[in-house]
Amino acid sequence: MQDFTVTPWEVSGAIDYDKLVRQFGTARIEAALRNRMENKCGELHQMLRREFVFSHRDLNLILDDYDKGRGFFLYTGRGPSRGMHIGHLVPLIFTKWLQERFKANLYIEITDDEKFLYRREYSWTDVQKNAQDNILDIAAVGFDPDRTFIFRDSEYVKNVYPLLLRTARKITGSTVKAVFGFDDSTNVGLSFYPAYQVIPSFFEKKRCLIPCAIDQDPYWRVQRDVAEGLGFHKTAAIHTKFLPPLQGVSGKMSSSAGGETAILLTDDEKTVKNKVNRYAFSGGQATVEEHRKLGGNPEVDVSYQWLSILFEPDDARLKQVYDDYRSGKLLTGELKGILIERLNAFLKEHREKRKKAEKEVRRFMYDGKLAKEMWARTYE
């Protein structure tokens, strides 16, 4: 028995990322590949530098294509739900960085169909409301409006239906059972859905690179089984680890696990402060005296981990926090204070960008250069 689980539907336990790489058949991003990225990009995003972006499929082929002038395109997505949390922004923030560095087109799939099929408590109206709301948060990340197309599955389906059927015809029931753990009680909509999550990787004849957390990788295994038979490239992927929940460094931040484990994008300053102070798992000692004497453990401290993943881009400053916490100079309350300040500054900025996105969102969905091209295009 394994003590952790990672599937597109469930992430729990203390994740052994090396084991996961072996199980999923992906590859670790080794130093040589990181250096290659650095040479091309001028610098590395902190998530790559600190190995939070840790695994890939065929990233080397993407860079080869880029070098040869063939280029590549990016694809990522979101299953809309009530309220996004900062974990959901992690792959999007990294995707934005990739788009800026490589000037690549980006497709963002909003899987209203998937959510409707999976979450029985949602009505269709709920799902559409959530999708609209989530799209604003996604647009607020700041992608290039002429190189980005955000679409809802239910709306774009008319442009892709023949290709979707051609893809579905290649995927058997036994494949989705084996890959996703579906059984005879799974509704047939969900058995069909994986075909749609594959489709955006066929939007261009170039090679596709998918940034996501590693829970989505089973879809790319299916994609890679069928792509060449349909006349497309096997997709490449670049995987992040999971932003941990407040309660401790195992599992992933998830909104369905209850509001206390996650910082939602709508949380106000007071809520953030209370959640972090109350719930953020600490690597500190029981008393101040002991902490001063023995020091804390940043490896298990959620506040430190979040700073490292997202909120402290400066390596020297991060190291200072690490050293001070280890030595006992920095107390748990002080470390939490740093995180609270960063989180609230981040969320304040996000709220402002979201407000602006209300005006810009049509460009991503309908009026921008890429969006217009996509609405004029059909796929067989």
Q: Residue 359 Cβ, how far from ligand TYM at the closest point, in Å?
A: 25
Stretch that binds ligand TYM, among 31-39, 70-78, 120-128, 314-322 (CB under 6 A): 70-78
Q: Is residue 79 involved in binding ligand TYM (CB under 6 A)?
A: yes
Q: How far is the CB of 78 from ligand TYM (least distance, A)?
A: 4
Please identify, among the stretches 23-31, 69-77, 164-172, 324-332, the one whose residues bind ligand TYM according to the rule CB under 6 A.
69-77
Our CB check for ligand TYM shows the closer of 53 and 63 to be 53
Candidate list 37, 77, 303, 350; residue touching ligand TYM; CB under 6 A? 77
- Does 213 interact with ligand TYM (rule: CB under 6 A)? yes
Q: Minimum distance from CB of 130 to ligand TYM (Å)?
A: 10
Q: Which is nearer to ligand TYM, 330 or 365 (CB)?
A: 365
Measuring CA to CA, which residue among 181, 205, 204, 203 is closest to residue 191? 181
Q: What torsion do the CA atoms of 217, 222, 228, 233 make, to the nearest 10 degrees?
A: -20
**Residue 165 structure tokens:** 């059927």
How near is the Cβ of 317 to ligand TYM at its closest, in Å?
A: 23
Three-class DSSP labels, the chain = CCCEEECCCCEEECCCHHHHHHHHCCEECCHHHHHHHHHHHCCCCHHHHCCCEEEEECHHHHHHHHHCCCCEEEEEEECCCCCCEHHHHHHHHHHHHHHHHHCCCEEEEECHHHHHHHCCCCCHHHHHHHHHHHHHHHHCCCCCCCCEEEEEHHHHHHHHHHHHHHHHCCCCHHHHHHHHCCCCCCCHHHHHHHHHHHHHHHCCCCEEEEEEEHHHHHHHHHHHHHCHHHCCCCCEEEEECCCCCCCCCCCCCCCCCCHHHCCECCCCHHHHHHHHHHHCCCCCCCCHHHHHHHCCCHHHCHHHHHHHHHHCCCHHHHHHHHHHHHHCCCCHHHHHHHHHHHHHHHHHHHHHHHHHHHHHHHHHHHHCHHHHHHHHCCCC
From 14-22, 207-215, 320-328, 354-362, give the range in contact with ligand TYM by CB under 6 A.
Answer: 207-215
Tell whether residue 283 is a contact of ligand TYM (CB under 6 A): no
Residue 290 CB, nearest approach to ligand TYM (Å): 31
| Shortest spacing between CB 244 and ligand TYM, in angstroms | 7
Which among 64-72, 154-162, 183-191, 206-214 is the span making contact with ligand TYM, rule CB under 6 A?
206-214
- Establish if 194 lies at the interface with ligand TYM (CB under 6 A): no
The answer to the question of residue 240 lying near ligand TYM (CB under 6 A) is yes
Distance CA 149, CA 143 (A): 10
Q: Does 109 bind ligand TYM (CB under 6 A)?
A: yes
The smaller minimum CB distance to ligand TYM, of residues 21 and 213, is found at 213
What the block records as the tokens of 254 is: 């998830």
> d(Cα 272, Cα 264) in Å, to the nearest integer?
9
CB-wise, 109 or 301, nearer to ligand TYM?
A: 109
Give the shortest CB-110-to-ligand TYM separation in angstroms.
8
Name 55's bridge partners: 28, 239
Closer residue to ligand TYM in complex, CB, 36/49: 49
Residues with Cβ within 8 Å of residue 122, at least 6 apart in sequence? 115, 116, 130
76 is a site residue for ligand TYM (CB under 6 A)? yes
Query: Is residue 90 involved in binding ligand TYM (CB under 6 A)?
Result: yes
CB 153 → ligand TYM: shortest distance, Å? 8
- Please report how close the Cβ of residue 335 comes to ligand TYM at its closest, in angstroms: 21
Q: Which window, 54-62, 124-132, 211-219, 321-329, contacts ligand TYM (CB under 6 A)?
A: 211-219
Contact residue for ligand TYM among 46, 111, 235, 344 (CB under 6 A): 111
**Which residues are at the interface with ligand TYM (CB under 6 A)?**
8, 75-79, 87-88, 90-91, 109, 111, 114, 197, 210, 212-213, 215-216, 240, 242-243, 252-253
